[in-house]
Amino acid sequence: MLRNRLKAAEYRDRAAQASRLAGACILDRVRERHEAAAERWADLARSIERPVHVRAASLPMSGA
């Protein structure tokens, strides 16, 4: 759990950095790449923070 929170925080930092780089770009194509990278890092952070729900039917059967 702690490891996931640390990874999510790292990904949010990378998203913020990419967003700052996008804001400083004068070239459209480079700015678009930084914006896309920022969105991907933010998506990764959100995906780690979401709880995983496992359906009971997908769990392996235990016992003999």
Summarised one tens digit per residue, pLDDT across range 22-50 is 999 999 999 999 999 999 999 999 999 87
| Residue 38 near residue 25, CB atoms below 8 Å | no
For residue 54, pLDDT beyond 60: no
Please tell me the predicted confidence (pLDDT) of residue 3: 86
Global pTM exceeds 0.85:
no
Q: Where are the chain's structural domains?
A: 2-50
Please tell me the predicted confidence (pLDDT) of residue 49: 83
Read off the pLDDT band of 9 (50, 70, 90).
very high
The number of residues in the chain equals: 64
Q: Which residue has the higher pLDDT, 51 or 11?
A: 11
Cβ neighbours of 15 (radius 10 Å): 20
